[in-house]
Structure 1
Amino acid sequence: MYRWGNNEAQNYVASSANSFHRRQASRDGNTTTEALIMRAIIDHTINDKTQAYTSARLSSHRGLGQARGCLSARITAPVAPGIWPAFWLLPQDPFVWPNEGEVDIMESWNGDPDNHSCLHWGHYNGQDWNKHRVLKTRTPHLSSVDGVLFSFAWSEDQATGNGKLVWYIDDVPVMRASKPAGTRPMKDFRILLNIAVGGTLNKGKLPENGVYEMVVRDLEIWDAPRGGWPAFERDWSRTAEGKHTS
């Protein structure tokens, strides 16, 4: 029930009430697309807490599968106290967390319309103080009907393991980081989508009763980011480095 040492309250369940597909209309109502719907369902009246806070956590079976490329998804995320939606990457099993790396492309918590682009490859302690890169971007349209396009591009030298990573929001580069030594090859990373409930990042706050929905469309892997690799190099040169956190 609790995951990743964050003291989260949700119970991830394989239920069609918490994850399913539907046709989703655009804001103008002129087009519809197939969308993945994920829901955290909160009911404080249920005494069994494994049923009171149900949610979905989905993972791809395959990894990114390439040494360089671009992953993108258009996401409408819930923004509410006690709710923590995320679109992120972990190495394929088996792996050692967080030493082998974690990439957070989209995550927002506790009702703040901010996106946190993150790279982690160590624990939050004195020894690993510099093994975290984080940059917060105000994203006021995070819960809009049309959603936000989140992208992550990587280019890695398979011989050395060195690489460049760039995070994008609506095609605007917002953070860059060098691929840390000792982390898994990018081709081995898999995709995760989930909605967490409560926990330390939500400051222990639980959401009110209700259904909190994340809509995911156009989840795709590209051979190159928009504009190609020359544009990626320009983005790398002009984008802010992720900040060290402790």
Structure 2
Amino acid sequence: MTALIKIYATTLSLLFTGFVSGCNDDSTSANDIPEIEGYELVWNDEFNKDGLPDSENWGYDVGGHGWGNNELQEYTAKDLKTARVEDGNLIITAFLINSTSGKSYRSARLVTRDKHAWKYGRIEMRAQLPGGRGTWPAFWMLPEEWNYGNGSWPDNGEIDIMEYVGYEPNVIHGTVHTDERNHTQGTQAGASVQVGGVENEFHVYALEWDEDKITISVDGHEYFEYLNEGRGWEYWPFDKEFHIILNTAIGGNWGGAQGVDDTIFPQQFVIDYVRVYQEVE
């Protein structure tokens, strides 16, 4: 018997209000952040200080090693061209470099690893996504401690709160990966939802996670749920701290399945905020 997965919608069309598509205010303070019943805000970055991302919150993964997916980009660190805070937003920019040695792509992958991690809670991001064939932005989580199974992926879990492949406009994906439920076996647990205007409007992408289930939503509309049935770490490694990752990949097994359109660059992943809430005890 496989783990129970409730998919609220795979091709659900959503209606949106000005709450998620309006202009940004770069002066957000703690008093402006809305309360969520039953939760308390435990960490956030509102991206209100221009320049490089706050080093107390974010580190970088660097290099161009394909990242296990045959991706084409090189990730850089402390580089305003690929990751900067400006006018109240974090902007991750992917761009093309034409050189005598051939084409290359640059981007950024920001992580809270070894700085901030959480076990359970509501983790949310308000963002406008890059688009175009070959782009692959993501808002996701990996564990701090790799102590299950083979000590690597997928045994220790992955939570993809938002993934988007540019060749499939306006389709948002939410997924989890475990030893028994992962894409290398074609058994990943996930769902997709159609959301209008993700490349030119801001939307809220959120995870709610506790010891019993994982729920993923867009603008409050839940479209994917994965339950803990008590079947061991092979199905549920989500009982420890995970950190946040924000990145834009180029190409790769999924993002590059229909090639890369070099005429689209540069492309920007614009993030208004990232917030973490946990249940009030």
TM-score w.r.t. structure 2 length?
Answer: 0.66
Do 1:198 and 1:207's aligned partners in 2 also have CA atoms closer than 8 Å? no
Do 2:72 and 2:105's aligned partners in 1 also have CA atoms closer than 8 Å? yes
Q: What letter matches 2:127 in structure 1?
A: I
Distance in 1 between the 2:186 and 2:200 partners? 35
SS of the residue 1:65 aligns to: coil
1:155 is the counterpart of 2:155: no
SS of the residue 1:200 aligns to: coil
Q: What letter matches 1:13 in structure 2?
A: T
Do 2:215 and 2:226's aligned partners in 1 also have CA atoms closer than 8 Å? yes
Do 1:10 and 1:197's aligned partners in 2 also have CA atoms closer than 8 Å? yes
State the partner residue of 2:90. 36
Equivalence map 1:94-173=2 (5 Å): 94=146, 96-112=152-168, 113-122=170-179, 123-125=182-184, 128-130=185-187, 132-145=188-201, 147-156=202-211, 163-173=212-222
Partner deviation per Cα, 1:85-122 (whole Å, 9 max, x = no partner): 00001111555111111111111113322111101113
Q: 5+ residue gaps in structure 1?
A: 24-33, 157-162, 230-246
Matched residues, number:
203
TM-superposed CA distance for 1:192, in Å, is 0.3
Q: What letter matches 1:188 in structure 2?
A: E
State the partner residue of 1:26. none
Do 1:78 and 1:143's aligned partners in 2 also have CA atoms closer than 8 Å? yes
Distance in 2 between the 1:200 and 1:170 partners? 28
Identity among equivalent positions (%) equals 25
State the partner residue of 1:203. 257
Do 1:64 and 1:187's aligned partners in 2 also have CA atoms closer than 8 Å? no
Do 1:63 and 1:187's aligned partners in 2 also have CA atoms closer than 8 Å? no
Distance in 2 between the 1:217 and 1:187 partners? 27
Supply the RMSD in Å over aligned alpha carbons: 2.3
Do 2:167 and 2:258's aligned partners in 1 also have CA atoms closer than 8 Å? no
TM-aligned CA distance change 1:120 to 1:47, over 3 Å:
farther
TM-aligned CA distance change 1:82 to 1:175, over 3 Å:
same
Partner deviation per Cα, 1:163-188 (whole Å, 9 max, x = no partner): 21100100111110014731444441
Do 1:197 and 1:207's aligned partners in 2 also have CA atoms closer than 8 Å? no
TM-superposed CA distance for 1:141, in Å, is 1.6
Equivalence map 1:12-51=2 (5 Å): 12-14=75-77, 15-23=79-87, 34-43=88-97, 45-48=98-101
Distance in 2 between the 1:139 and 1:82 partners? 19
Q: 5+ residue gaps in structure 2?
A: 1-63
TM-score w.r.t. structure 1 length?
Answer: 0.75
TM-superposed CA distance for 1:199, in Å, is 1.2
Do 2:133 and 2:261's aligned partners in 1 also have CA atoms closer than 8 Å? yes
State the partner residue of 2:123. 71
Do 2:130 and 2:269's aligned partners in 1 also have CA atoms closer than 8 Å? yes
With 73-82 and 2-11 compared, the bigger mean Cα shift is at: 2-11
